[in-house]
Structure 1
Amino acid sequence: MPHTEDAGPTSPPAVLAPAEPEPSNDRDLSAHVRSWLLAAAFEPEKAREQWAHGGLALIGCGGLLSTVRISTTLVYAAADTNITRDVDAFLSEALQNHPVFMDRHARWYYVLVPSSARRRPEWRSTGPRHGSDIEFLGMGSYVGVPRPEAIDPDAERSYWCVPVRVPGALADPDTVHQFLTFAVRRRAQAAEMPTVAHEDAHRSRHVPPGPAPERLLTPHSTIREGELSWSRPCTCPTRSSSS
């Protein structure tokens, strides 16, 4: 979904309101979620109409919420799969059930985060990070958000991979940063696979095999920014050590 680039902070990010109490039933939940998202809409009435016709509501970032936009390439590398249902389950676990939606046509994932995340060092730059794979969208940016009930990837252009469960409950920036660090590393490891395979094949013709390889990352391996916060094991390719 096209968005307006952030030209720089023009005012301090709005303070995120506390999450509302969880509604007592699904109908109340849907109404609360709609009201909360529409409060961030550029034109609330028009957004409501767009949802009614199966479209996307234009939501402004930098106030009630902001988003981190992530390429499918990076998400698939982290999940080690491109099967939609498996990726969705992985995101739910990795981001602790906080809201994520995907634009299937544009091939972007959007994680909802507090606007205060802009103050973090890794998000101070207004341009994309890691090429064009990761971008924080804050004040001055707009995203097309699906209606809360859009959760079927086979029936929607954009859908909620991880639905909004409680209005105001956004992804923790530390968790998102940790996830992105993991994703970037997984992609780098995958890119090294052909080289590693070639080197190992060459070595095997001249050097006796060494002990069995260990995984580069395990479910709770320590990485630069902290420990992984989800339990899915990593099956990254490894190099056999030699004597």
Structure 2
Amino acid sequence: MEPTARPRSAALLPVEGGRDVRVHLGAHRRLASEHWLLSTLPEYDRARARQEWTDHRIALLPMGTLVSAVRLPARLVLAVAGCRGVCGEVDRFLAEALEGGPVICDPNGRRFYALVPASMPATWRAAAEEWQSAEVECLGRNSYLGVPRLDVTEPDVRVGSYWSVPMSSAASLCGPLAVARLIAAGWHEVRGRGDCEEA
């Protein structure tokens, strides 16, 4: 009996560009990420969140089901980033330090929110308790976060919060170890010198 050859899948062939070929990978990833974020809500509540994104460019989403967040005070981030207060510089620093994981900036509250796996508040409980002295908080179950629409990637006075490091794809989150290292380095800098305390 001869082995049957597997048919060659068209999905594996390269896509060649041209006038009639349009590839919107960024838009598809953003749409997939929106669906993923909205799946943190019960189905009946998703339309409300979509409307909030449309009307206000920010929606309140629950933490602790698919995603949690680690709230980082700006002074901690600025201390380890070298006290650079320029948004673009800090955003680039966070993208590198957190290996491209998504981060929301709340410039009015002077905070950053690193989006992490939902399990982090429980699995890093002891560390999270220590981090409280640095004003770092893990937002898990029974917490809510104002999440900007995914295309809000620049500071905007109408919205307040924006994506300091945009979500690259659905379920793409900051690694807990990278977040822990950032907190440790920032807290070391803040305690070691007082010049960033009010930054």
**Residues 142, 154 of structure 1: alpha-carbon distance in 2 compared, 3 angstrom cutoff:** closer
Once the 2 structures are TM-superposed, how far is the Cα of residue 134 of structure 1 from its aligned partner?
0.3
Which residue, 156, 160, 164 being the options, matches 1:157? 160
1:112-127 residue pairs with structure 2 within 5 A? 112-117=115-120, 118-123=122-127, 125=129
CA displacement at 1:78 relative to structure 2: 1.2
SS at match of 1:68: strand
Aligned-partner residue type, residue 75 of structure 1: V
Q: Quick one: which amino acid aligns to residue 145 of structure 2?
A: V
How far apart, in 2, do the equivalents of 1:84 and 1:59 lie?
24
Which amino acid in the other structure matches residue 39 of structure 1?
Answer: S
Residue 113 of structure 1 aligns to a residue whose secondary structure is strand
1:57 aligned partner: 59
Distance 1:162 1:101 in 2: 7
Could you tell me how far 1:108 is from its partner in structure 2? Answer: 1.3
Q: CA RMSD in A?
A: 2.2
Task: Find the residue that maps to 2:92 and give its secondary structure.
Answer: helix
Moved over 4 A (4+): none
TM-score, reference length from structure 1: 0.64
Q: 1:24 Cα shift?
A: 6.1
1:46 aligns with 2:79: no
SS at match of 2:182: helix
Shift of residue 190, structure 1, vs aligned partner: 2.0
Alignment of 1:98-113 (within 5 A): 98-113=101-116
Q: Is 2:60–2:145's contact at 8 Å kept on the other side of the alignment?
A: yes
Matches of 1:192 and 1:66, distance apart in 2: 31
Larger helix proportion of the pair: 2
Alignment of 1:5-16 (within 5 A): none
Q: Distance in 2 between matches of 1:189 and 1:128?
A: 16
Q: Cα distance, 1:170 vs. partner? A: 1.1
Shift of 1:189: 2.0
Provide closer, same or farther for how the CA distance between residues 103 and 24 of structure 1 changes in structure 2, counting only shifts above 3 A.
same
Alignment of 1:20-35 (within 5 A): 25-35=25-35
What is the one-letter code of the residue matched to 2:52?
Q
Q: Distance in 2 between matches of 1:88 and 1:101?
A: 10
**Could you tell me the percent identity over the aligned residues?**
31
Alignment TM-score, normalising by the size of structure 2: 0.78
Contact 2:128 2:137 in 1 (8 A): no
- Letter of the aligned partner of 1:35 in structure 2? H
Is the contact between residue 41 and residue 58 of structure 1 (CA under 8 Å) also seen in structure 2?
Answer: no
SS state at 2:181 partner = helix
Q: Please state how far the C-alpha of 1:124 moved relative to its aligned partner.
A: 5.6
Q: Report the equivalent of 2:190.
A: 187
Give the AA of the match of 1:110: Y
- Alpha-carbon contact 2:30-2:169 (below 8 Å) kept: no
- Taking the aligned partners of 1:121 and 1:112, their CA distance within structure 2 comes to 16
Amino acid of the residue matched to residue 126 of structure 2?
A: E
- 8 Å CA contact retained: 1:41, 1:57: no
Aligned residue type for 1:50: E
**Which residue of the partner structure matches residue 169 of structure 1?**
172
Whether the aligned pair in 1 keeps the contact of 2:57 and 2:152 (CA below 8 Å) is no
